[in-house]
Amino acid sequence: MTTDKTGAETAVNKEPGRFTITVDGQPAGFTQFADRHGQRVFFHTEIDDEFEGRGLGTIVVGEALEATKNARLHIVPVCKLVAAYVEQHSELGDIADPATPEIKKWLKAAS
């Protein structure tokens, strides 16, 4: 189990289309994705206002990307937080694909 910046216990769980994060069992946020042709397209990350500033976005994105890597899928960072995380972690570069106009069009049609 991971702890946030305050020392509170966090847990990340995979659900259909998203990874969620809880703090001491309380829902705190999520990162959403859609799978496409061997890629996992991350398009939105949100942390509840009362939990901001505790590093939860980094925790949920980090664990989601690790799970994606373990599933042998490529990461497409449409979400700015996910893109920043990938940019800061060079070890993910070989499995990161650009968020092309084609992917963005597909994502818009899928939602």
pLDDT of 27-72, one tens digit each? 999 999 999 999 999 999 999 999 999 999 999 999 999 999 999 9
Q: Alpha carbon 7 to chain centroid distance? A: 21
Domain that holds residue 91: 2-110
CATH number at residue 67: 3.40.630.30
Per-residue pLDDT band at 82 (split at 50, 70, 90): very high
Name the phi and psi angles at 71, rounded to 5: -80, 0
What domain count does the chain have? 1
| Confidence (pTM) | 0.94
